[in-house]
Chains A and B, each alone.
Chain A
């Protein structure tokens, strides 16, 4: 039932004010200790042969979709199914967004067998590949037309196609995640675009992590002790000639006991400008501006105890040596550490490392 703006607005304000002093009480989120089947991340990778890990796709692009599924309790026979619904620009409610359908998300899998349902099953598995079909082209064309007509739309030349990732365990447990797949007419946009209305959209690339450290000083991520670092490609080989793992990581160092601060190193933007991108935003007053991505890292562990989490990244500066820090005390036994990096523009990546 509709509620007036004023009524709901005041309630929201009251909550904000009350939270200023009281929200901490009773809010044990405990969301970063993973003790059950969970999906912790999902990323779309598009390789256009230029060595950049793109997150945006357009018609004809082959996308590699990867889900980060944590299964610390060993739920048997976990099946990961990817489904989507073609988005529209006229606000039509699709099954993938319909709350009544999402009360039981497995309905989507059933619905996908009906070609008239509007639900499409993209594949099964933690990693799948999918090519954006030609049917999406009218939607991208509509974005271009909208940008030509509406200055507020010039910075929003993309569609976020909702992908539903449904992980079903053999014991009946079901967990679901949403991944927005960003579709954009990227080949027509950017500073070099001939249409001025299309110059304000910068194609997004996925961020990445190159190293996990235990720094000596929380004011910077280094120097300190390296826990694990990426390898392969143009990166230096692993120390002592150790082998680089298939997912591109050197063997980890032992994780020290006691409370430790961990942080993540990102690539140097001087040589990798697409890692932390500068993009345009369209202000409400019609004025445009530039904004730098503020990558955010979420930490998850399968055991141990977490302490404080802080983000000392200076606002608006590409200080790549100062990222999200977490204080963590390892358990006595083995555990898995996850660091998921998100750039706020549907770009995502992660490191998942087992420690003994």
Chain B
């Protein structure tokens, strides 16, 4: 090919760090202040470039194309392992690209201000190009300047290569570029970006004039399938499942709700009716804590888990810790969930969606030097239910949530104000039997948080969150139940970290709160646990009322260290101190020591082990005189686990974890009395949960992602001996097998197809061994046998999803069809005894349930 020579166009393909979910092409520059709740991410920068040799026969044949590589860059910036993900159209391309890349030099990536080893994806373009003209002096006149943005999202295209008649340039972090010294007359502009389709544009350059342009590039795959940098942040948690929003919005069966995917990870049992209760490693739902940007929230899902209490549009990612987590989290014996919201963009964008249940809208943009987002969602499922429930029965759930965030540089760091909240109201009324079936409930919470993050002198960093909260719960039912409870809280979470060297990181922090509560509760006197007839029944023992108000302090402090021992060992000891002044009679403070150890057995293999104590106070209502026992003390669990992380071919990771958790001092029902009065509750409960978790995960690559999650587990409980003496029995939500398979593929034409398959063992239940006819009302009272000695049939569900995204210049539009239970399997969700307790009828769950959703964004 006379007059031509081979040119290698390099493009660094980097869009996000998985644990933070930040997108480089739309996110802050590499040295920007970190987003709240996310690790500060500084991407590796190429310092030393070596061009690849164009294979002569390919050059002669005019073959062009690209090679997709995966490159490991260590903490010093040196290139480690290089894997070929896509060899391209010519067999000589891949060896040439690998040979060149191995000679590259980078500045190391940084996460949270610390150098970190990362694995990045690289596209190496082999392009035949005309011989370059003589070098263009820097004082050549500016001929063309402009900006390149992405169609639909209007996000800047970063690091795109522009070539015009041999004059080249690269876009900056705002997508801007300029070309100098272009010849006058028609020129052809070629723009190459690894995540986008190539763009060819013809322009006419006029003498003495600067042409200003704006180009729009089509992303190869929109939404879920960004090309990604697989950053491995320094691990502080033995088992953490990190997910980014882009991975999650198309998971079938979730209606695009990011947080619902938590239930698809190993270690999480399926809740009845898909209610969204987080049942983690055999712990009770209330044993798992949920934080958003460092602020604890009381619930994760709206009514019946139709959707999460946070709009997915403002979430950048989440971390889910099923157990053996660091000292950063306390007052939890189960798991921990940390939701990260993203920073608002500094230009105007918005999004909205509608589906069967609700509608939501989000807008973001600049305010002065800062930026903000505001999001609101409101349900209309009450109107939908009106159409399907029988006449005379009113089922009216109404929910809303909102999130407003403002980010601004502050005192050398970054400050943010974040307000968010949620409300759920539910009315159920049978007009025919209003005194028998009436239920009116509302639960709401609101939070206002201020956050400030700043690094000092390279080695110090502080992250402080001060938040205020308001929680209110109200319920009235069948003229016999009335609950009105309100809690005000002020919370401080501050973490000071010091990293004097690569081998040592120290963290010291507080996680403390002050709370003021008031409650007014009236409940029927249900009688003692284990009583078949309530010891006299509702009429003889009138409803019991209790009301009180007061405050309590919940100070918490934690300290941890990360110590590298040699090149293979890393040890992370931690200590947590918590106290709860609401515990008046029992021990009101406790220390929880924790230790994690990591051993890098090979470039693809990390062995890990952890051990620690995890404690939490009783629930506030458990400490009341009327309904609980003021003499209760904290609950505790001893957890240990071992596991391995193994990288496998084809961008696949395997995580295998064995865990064991021994729980004691659990709050449980009791028949014991003190001075003739019922104690109601005691700390004599015990439990154990153990099992193995497996996660085989294929990262997003070339449009495909998926994972296989499997848990083999057993969870048991021991009741207070005054209630049951049959010994350890299965926990109510023990599920021996929990299997989830998720697969999703997006074409380059913006079609997405996905499926989710779930199988779980049935929940244990307590069988009835006798039925006693109640002559007072004509029904039977069923007498239970030993607790949880039978098991319901297994659960299986197949979900499917199809998305289609339409991209226009300034906005995009997505429609999806999400079909839950596509096989229309009748899954048993609850068993009801027949009239005399001699058999069971089954209440089945959701039938085949298609949901159509629409979404637009600009």
Task: Give residues in A with beta carbon < 8 Å to B.
Answer: 1-7, 9-11, 13-23, 25-31, 38-43, 67, 87-88, 90-94, 96-100, 102-105, 150, 152-153, 155-156, 158-162, 164-165, 175-180, 282-284, 296, 298, 340, 342, 344-346, 348
Contact = CB atoms under 8 A, between A and B. Distances in A.
B462 interface: no
B783 A103 contact: yes
Interface in B276-307: 277, 284-286, 299, 304
A90 B676 contact: yes
A335 B480 CA distance: 42
A99 B273 contact: no
A143 to B, nearest CB: 9
A309 to B, nearest CB: 12
Given A11-B272, A16-B428, A160 B539 contact: yes
A298 B773 CA distance: 13
A3 B732 contact: yes
Contacts of B671: 93
Given A27-B841, A103-B770, A160 B439 contact: no
Nearest to A43: B775
A241 B481 CA distance: 56
Given A1-B717, A14-B273, A31-B835, A152 B775 contact: no
B784 A1 contact: no
27 contacts: A1-B719, A5-B483, A7-B277, A9-B441, A16-B395, A16-B437, A20-B390, A25-B844, A27-B832, A31-B834, A31-B835, A40-B775, A41-B778, A87-B540, A90-B677, A92-B528, A93-B528, A97-B531, A97-B533, A99-B530, A99-B531, A99-B783, A152-B545, A160-B776, A176-B770, A177-B772, A284-B476
Interface in B606-644: 619, 621
A56 to B, nearest CB: 12
Contact of B770 (A9, A91, A105, A283): A105
Nearest to A68: B775
Interface string B802-846: 000000000000000000000000000110101110000111110
Interface string B711-727: 00000010100000000
B539 A156 contact: yes
Contacts of A178: 533, 772-776, 781
Contact of A162 (B475, B533, B787, B830): B533
B123 interface: no
B540 A159 contact: yes
A346 B304 contact: no
B542 A152 contact: yes
Contacts of B621: 5
Contacts of A41: 775, 778
A12 B79 CA distance: 57
B286 A7 contact: yes
Contacts of A40: 773, 775
Contact of A21 (B389, B534, B836): B389
B685 interface: yes
A20 B530 contact: no
A284 B482 contact: yes
Contact of A17 (B304, B732, B781): B304
Given A2-B668, A4-B285, A283 B479 contact: yes
Interface in B662-718: 666-669, 671, 673, 676-678, 681, 685, 687, 717
A246 B813 CA distance: 83
Of the listed residues B277, B525, B540, the one surrounded by the most CB atoms of chain A closer than 10 A to its CB is B540
Contacts of A26: 841-842
B62 interface: no
Contacts of B533: 96-97, 162, 178, 180
A29 B541 CA distance: 31
The 7 closest A-B pairs by CB, nearest first: A31-B835, A42-B775, A177-B773, A14-B273, A97-B531, A152-B542, A156-B542
Nearest to A298: B778
Contacts of A17: 304, 385, 389, 395, 428
Nearest to A97: B531
B286 A156 contact: no
A178 B532 CA distance: 10
B395 A103 contact: no
Interface string B756-799: 00000000000001101111111011011101000000000000
Contacts of A7: 277, 284-286
Nearest to B541: A156
A99 B784 CA distance: 7
Contacts of A4: 284-286, 619
Nearest to B668: A2
B832 A176 contact: no
Nearest to A12: B439
B417 interface: no
Contact of A105 (B534, B717, B772): B772
A96 B527 CA distance: 13
Contacts of A90: 673, 676-678
Nearest to B480: A284
Nearest to B389: A20
Contacts of B619: 4
A32 B832 CA distance: 18
A117 B845 CA distance: 46
A18 B829 contact: yes
A10 B776 contact: no
A179 B775 contact: yes
B775 A348 contact: yes
B773 A38 contact: yes
Nearest to B434: A315
A102 B770 contact: yes
B325 interface: no
A64 B421 CA distance: 62
A19 B304 contact: no
B166 interface: no
